Structure 1
Amino acid sequence: MAAPAMEGAAGTALRSVLSKVQMALDRSGRSPEQVRVVAVSKTKPVSAIRQLYDAGHRVFGENYVQELLEKAPQLPADIEWHFIGNLQSNKVKALLAGVSNLDMVESVDDEKIATHLDRAVANLGRKALKVLVQVNTSGEESKHGVEPSGCVELAKHVMLGCPNLVFAGLMTIGMLDYSSTPENFKTLCKCRTEVCDALSIPEEQCELSMGMSADFEQAIEMKSTNVRVGSAIFGPREYPKKDKSK
């Protein structure tokens, strides 16, 4: 996970995050190849993403379709984009057509969106798209995701009913304050065991996307394979200020 010399605040922060990732891996006896760091660039400018790209990082995540559609064409084609936000059916075609280097959709939370993705991949002639099934492990109404009790059926639908999708694993967001409790992680691990048993696939072939800026180290120690780190790399999100004079 060694990175070349970096400049700028985002580069320095990424170096710190990668160092913490390595320490978590060491504590848990895992190897660097077992964890992917997704740099979540939500609300951040293309220049900040480019800084990390020039430093050697290649995996980035976005939460909004329109934001990704605007950024992707301005950046190199070898970036591996992850879509990690709630995806509406009417935006599937635009996302897949506009981002040829979309590597994974992490937020498949029902059969309808899986089927829409499957059809769009086929219609566009794209290679099979990797997807994760999003599980609502915290039970919060504000969270998207299938209930833990429904993860097997949704995974089965993706794997057996969507030939143009690749079932790659499970994802969770966690608690409202974006710092998951161990219970959230334990629930996702349990879901993975149930899914793998039901679909007769080895657990090492089923990814766990869990852990963000506040808890990615803990998540790695609890077997996460994909951590989504935004503010710890890019700083606080920058939303447009509302004009109070209107």
Structure 2
Amino acid sequence: MSISENLNRIRNSLPEHVTLVAVSKTKPVSDIMEAYNAGQRIFGENKVQEMTEKWEILPKDINWHMIGHVQRNKVKYMASYVSLIHGVDSLRLLKEINKQAKKANRNIDCLLQVHIAEEESKFGLDASELSEIITSIKSGTLSNIRVLGLMGMATFTDDDHQIRKEFQNLKSLFDKTKNVVSECSILSMGMSGDYQIAIEEGSNMVRIGSRIFGRR
């Protein structure tokens, strides 16, 4: 099947309230344009340099989501155009995003990445670090960022029960955060292999790559 056919099949299967981020990392501009011509406007990348190169040449009505781990020294390169940063996993990074957003004279929307998987390699905040960041947000000193929700990745496993449990934990943290941070409305969880479970457990934003663009 073509990229546009894959995209339409997935879009037709998603509930109306779920936003689709088409994960275009490592994929050429021609693939992104095929998805764009099929109506997709939100694309996710995991490397700032690659995303910036694509932003420079692709249509300007694309919303670029940074879904990978972000190094603080790379924030400045995307500060002028990025739509949403998914992987904010420290207060230091949040402060750097705020600083670069100020320089770019705009607000930058962010999601806080929570560690829910059993794998050590996954980035993310634990519950106490999340609480610390929320306290900083409430203090009002980070005036050029908006924390719009949480993001998380489940363990890469065939055990659906474990994946479901991890998503349930994130949904619980999301509900608590929503009570404190009024703008918190996005729960980004679920990728090509587990997005149906994620939606069942409350996700309203999914990040799908290989089911649209094919294997990397």
TM-score (norm 1): 0.81
1:92 maps to 75
1:116 maps to 96
1:185 maps to 167
Matched-pair contact (CA < 8 Å) for 1:170–1:192: yes
Matched-pair contact (CA < 8 Å) for 2:18–2:205: yes
Gaps of 5+ in 2: none
The 5-angstrom pairing of residues 163-202 of structure 1 reads: 163-177=143-157, 181-197=163-179, 199=180, 201=182
Matched-pair contact (CA < 8 Å) for 1:168–1:206: yes
Matched-pair contact (CA < 8 Å) for 2:134–2:181: no
The 5-angstrom pairing of residues 79-228 of structure 1 reads: 79-97=62-80, 100=81, 102-125=82-105, 127-159=106-138, 160-177=140-157, 181-197=163-179, 199=180, 201=182, 205-228=184-207
Q: Which amino acid aligns with 1:9?
A: S
Structure 1 vs Structure 2: percent identity of aligned residues? Answer: 36
Matched-pair contact (CA < 8 Å) for 2:48–2:78: yes
Report how far residue 214 of structure 1 moved. 0.9
Report how far residue 162 of structure 1 moved. 1.2
Report how far residue 176 of structure 1 moved. 3.2
Q: Which amino acid aligns with 2:128?
A: S
Gaps of 5+ in 1: 1-7, 26-31, 238-246
User: Secondary structure at the residue paired with 1:162?
Assistant: coil
Q: Which amino acid aligns with 2:165?
A: E
Q: CA-to-partner distance for each residue in 1:109-147, whole Å, 9 max, x for gaps?
A: 00000000000000121x211100000011432010001
Report how far residue 177 of structure 1 moved. 4.8
Structure 1 residues 70, 177: closer, same or farther in 2, change over 3 A? farther
User: Secondary structure at the residue paired with 1:181?
Assistant: helix
Aligned length: 213
Report how far residue 227 of structure 1 moved. 0.2
User: Secondary structure at the residue paired with 1:217?
Assistant: helix
Give distance in 2, aligned partners of 1:231 and 1:12. 13
User: Secondary structure at the residue paired with 1:214?
Assistant: coil
Report how far residue 200 of structure 1 moved. 5.6
Report how far residue 12 of structure 1 moved. 0.8
Q: CA-to-partner distance for each residue in 1:55-94, whole Å, 9 max, x for gaps?
A: 1110000001111011111110000110000000111111
Q: CA-to-partner distance for each residue in 1:9-31, whole Å, 9 max, x for gaps?
A: 1111111111221xxx3xxxxxx
User: Secondary structure at the residue paired with 2:79?
Assistant: helix
Report how far residue 236 of structure 1 moved. 0.7
The 5-angstrom pairing of residues 36-75 of structure 1 reads: 36-75=19-58
Give distance in 1, aligned partners of 2:92 and 2:38. 39
Structure 2 counterpart of 1:20, from 9, 13, 36: 13
User: Secondary structure at the residue paired with 1:161?
Assistant: coil
TM-score (norm 2): 0.92
1:77 maps to 60
